[in-house]
Structure 1
């Protein structure tokens, strides 16, 4: 039962809001979609019989997960017609604390761009099980209740999802100091017209994935090989408009560059590192995915 003190339904919801958003974002990969799901969860919570709720957090996570599954099924059809590669919406994680139920490293790994891209290929139920189990450490029995499935079925979904992610997840390094160093060297080489220096930072099979949604200039296909990636990046640095400013910050658990043009977010660039070399360059330029960074 809820404590018969001055604690209100709003106080209880606000206490768990950050966890609900964390679940919804990992399910959907979009800040706006996650916020909508959390708002819908609040509406469900505000109309619930609070006296009958023994564990508010479990109740709220259950509502949020089910709403996120429904929303994911809706947005998946829209993503099939998305123009160019699709990347998750960048999320600031330097101001988001991991919940007590998960270690920081594991919690952060499940929000990286690379992992979220892999999660896109899971079914909504597989994704829900993976998120609740791997990011938040929920027991199988509780996940089964959340999804209204048998525990044996949930264990099968978890095993299938985990194998899928492990097979497809790139083995990126997550050392923030090394990532920051490479990011700064990358920016210096690009800004200094140092093509050779830029190429030395790239792995031989480097890739560049750009997300514009057809709403800004970005490659409509993945660019592959160090030479092609380096020359593409070298080319665009020569057309950078005056007044473009870069900020180094933490997005999705890793160091990233946020470019501002006249105070408005223009693009996000993040580097995935393997064995001290840049393996993948992620660029997000779709303005609809940069709005939440306006205050950053």
Structure 2
């Protein structure tokens, strides 16, 4: 059996990669960390003397663990109101992500991508993530999903069509993203309906995930269209003083506090180029239980966003 200290050092060299795989699979850093920890426990108990590629072995173990979690999630029907958002990665708007965050957020794993991944079957999601993002061959993916390599290829192909049909490449600069988010917040605070319409795409979609909780802005739901979204946004007028600028999965966003407790995380997706860019999607995590699992330390001490019109 390998020396435990040596094995632990080898495992640590793969941890960032394994967290990246698990986050794309599960859409939750807390669940991803649990899966990676379970992989370490399996490694510590396993006889790996015959394992030539430890990274590949660990990736397979993590993938199987994530697949089991996705299947259990589906069986429990964790989306009682039809809206289930991924748990975002929140960082300071003024600082570049640390190397580990950069690795996890690579390949455009924004909220829009994660939301589309949530619509896939567990097997489709695994095949797409492992092949299209991490380059694993279908011969290696097939045993994990208990399919032939040809069937695994078809799973990834179906997932790829869904992703390409739903996720548009972003061409909006970070400065323009922040300008739009600040203008959205200023207009909501001022109760300026017309100003809200100017920053919203006509086909804008808002998804609010409150879990099973009845929040001050209602339960989980989806709202479409600029006029209706603008009307709903006015509900945030009283909350604007508690809003803090944040980077949400690499894009401009907001964390809203009520007193010293987090109330919501708002992630934004943008469409268009230059000055014509508008807010196309707003994803709001309101579920108090899931908010507790999100690491907000990077923005908890940041001053409130200036929302003066």
- Give the TM bin, normalised by the shorter chain: 0.7 to 0.9
Query: What is the Cα deviation at residue 30 of structure 1?
Result: 2.1
- Aligned partner of residue 266 in structure 1, secondary structure: strand
Structure 2 unpaired stretches of 5+: 92-96, 299-309
From 25, 33, 36, the counterpart of 1:27: 25
Deviation at 1:145, TM superposition (A): 5.5
Matching residue of 1:294: 296
Query: Structure 1 residue 46: deviation in Å?
Result: 0.6
Is this contact kept in 1: 2:90–2:296, CA < 8 A? no
Matches within 5 A, 1:1-296: 8-79=6-77, 81-83=79-81, 85-92=83-90, 94-95=97-98, 96-98=101-103, 107-109=106-108, 111-144=109-142, 146-147=144-145, 149-170=147-168, 172-173=170-171, 175-215=173-213, 216-219=215-218, 220-237=220-237, 239-240=238-239, 244-275=241-272, 276-291=277-292, 292-296=294-298
Task: Find the residue that maps to 1:138 and give its secondary structure.
Answer: coil
Q: State the shift of 1:80 in Å.
A: 5.1
Separation in 2 of the partners of 1:68 and 1:32?
12
- Cα distance change on mapping 1:55 and 1:146 into 2, 3 Å: farther
TM-score after normalising by structure 2: 0.82
* CA distances 1:33-52 after superposition (whole Å, capped 9, x unpaired): 22221121111111111322
Q: Distance in 2 between matches of 1:184 and 1:121?
A: 30
Offset of residue 141 of structure 1: 3.5
User: Is the Cα contact below 8 Å between 1:84 and 1:214 reproduced in 2?
Assistant: no
Offset, 1:230: 0.7
Quick check: 193-202 or 170-179, which moved more?
Answer: 170-179
Q: 2: distance between equivalents of 1:286 and 1:127? A: 24
Q: What is the CA-CA distance between 1:137 and the residue it aligns to?
A: 2.4
Give CA deviations for 1:88-147 in whole Å, capped at 9, x if unaligned: 111237331227xxxx7xx342x2222222112222111111111222222333334555
Task: Report SS of the residue matched to 1:59.
Answer: helix
RMSD: 2.5
Return closer, same or farther for 1:135/1:225 CA change in 2, 3 Å cut-off: same
TM-score by length of 1: 0.86
Identify the range of structure 1 (260-269 vs 75-84) with the bigger mean alpha-carbon deviation: 75-84
**C-alpha separation in 2, matches of 1:151 and 1:51:** 27
Q: 1:235 offset after TM fit, Å?
A: 3.1
Shift in CA distance, 84/122, structure 1 to aligned 2, threshold 3 Å: closer
Q: For 1:273 and 1:217, how far apart are their aligned partners in 2?
A: 26
Moved more, 257-266 or 142-151: 142-151
Q: Distance in 2 between matches of 1:76 and 1:163?
A: 22
Higher mean displacement: 35-44 or 148-157: 148-157
Deviation at 1:174, TM superposition (A): 5.1
CA–CA distance in structure 1, aligned partners of residues 147 and 153 of structure 2: 10
Extract unaligned runs of 5+ from structure 1: none
